[in-house]
Structure 1
Amino acid sequence: MLSSLKSTTTLNNGVKMPWVGLGVFLVKDGEEVVNSVKTAIEVGYRSIDTAAVYKNEEGVGKAIAESNVPREELFITTKLWNADQGYEETLKAFDVSMEKLGLDYLDLYLIHWPLPSHGKYVETWKALEKLYKDGRVRAIGVSNFKVHHLEDILANCEIKPMVNQVEYHPRFNQRELHEFCKKNEIQLEAWSPLMQGGLLDEPVLVEIAKKYDKSPAQVIIRWDIQTGVVTIPKSVKPHRIAENADVFDFELSHEDMDKINALNQDQRMFADPDEFSRV
């Protein structure tokens, strides 16, 4: 059984990525994000996930600089925003993110959305390949890509994506996409795994949580890991950050995994990537 927050999965290029990280979506830059990231690192988190559009890369970078953990022990992810898609634009946007983060290299860089209405994600991917070949980022991937978007990338790439970060939770388990990613050695990663708290009163999860003397949130995070999905729950509360990490001392039974899988309703909380076009 996976033993701690330092437990990792191995990406298709051999890079090791922690199974559980801290997401900082909607966390305010400055004191709030600095404190959240520092708390997470103190608890034992080694993976931090931000994005250009979150506007808190500077705070994340400050927290990393002020932590006592060596840089090489951390796994830092950021994402390219939609307005910066395109080959040259991507290279410039990467430089801006790196300056804000104050890092010499990045562990994972993702295209945040496919933005099919703009038709640039293959060209954008070529820029990520360059960043990877130049050694500026250890792994590259995508976010919110559906099967047909991934097929476009795979048909036109030299280097296949290592990660696809998507909306994933018990009410939206993306089974077809997950199977496609497994078949193509692309690691699936869950954003908003707790459905922004919308699943914490779900009776099935409450019942399972009581059985293991855990919280519904811990059950969901454990379910993610056992389905082979990396997960990045977000919180700014120190006790929640610690609670979300305490998922390595129990294992869900096959029966309980099946009960959670049965909660799927193909219910998106956010936009369909084919339709989302905000820049």
Structure 2
Amino acid sequence: MAAARRRLDGELVRRKLAPSREAAQKAVADRRVTVNGALANKPARMVLGGDAIELLGPPPKYVGRGGDKLEGALASFGIDPTGWHCVDVGSSTGGFTDCLLQAGATDVVAIDVGRAQLHNRLRRNRRVDVREQTDVRSVDPAEIGAPFDLVVIDVSFIGLDRILDIVASLAGDEGQILALVKPQFEAGKQEASKGKGVIRDPEIWNRVLHETIAASRQRELLVGGIDVSPIKGGAGNVEFFLWIGGPAASVADLVDEHAVNTAIERVGALP
């Protein structure tokens, strides 16, 4: 006699791993259910009574790890975006956008050169203006709603120096900028290739940070804060946040050598 087969969502309820079939379906959609060690992607799949079914930890707070990175930066610099008009440059899946919305931002314009990357939950959110297949360097600031209270940046395969002019236009005179500095894309190709795309040398981090700060100052943008990102990037790359604007109202407020060194020292505390 063949072993009984049941739908996965029903089996989750039967094993008391979920309070209802609806909750079970959501757990599967959130990629929190494994069957025999493999992630399950369909609540209607059939399983056997002897299959090992596991419910993983709580669902992630944000649609992408970028949300956790930005949350750490907002806390580090004491930034509260409640009621702010924001733009996310390099939105990708939408981690930064999700973080801003959950932190109280009024709305977010999500810009990315790619397409079909933004999480559907954000795509359906009326507070999100989706601008896909859009190079930020080609946008008309006024057309997308500039000036913004806060510009957040997470771009790859391009140095920040190449987009700072348009970013400054998006922020206007009063806006603030939080830029994720990725040494693997700011350093030279030879340096990145030596580590197979991972930059581990603190001297390179230091140089990249000073170069990015200098590029900002050349555009009369004052860098008022710097800190290491609380979460490493892909392949274990260390990343940093620059807070451009904010309290930096004069030369006395500018980030100095000590601040850069302190941010680099904090890398040692990363998980």
Question: TM-score by structure 1 length?
Answer: 0.33
In terms of fraction of residues, the more helix-rich structure is 1
Question: TM-score by structure 2 length?
Answer: 0.34
Larger RCO: 1 or 2 (CA < 8 Å, sep 6+)? 1
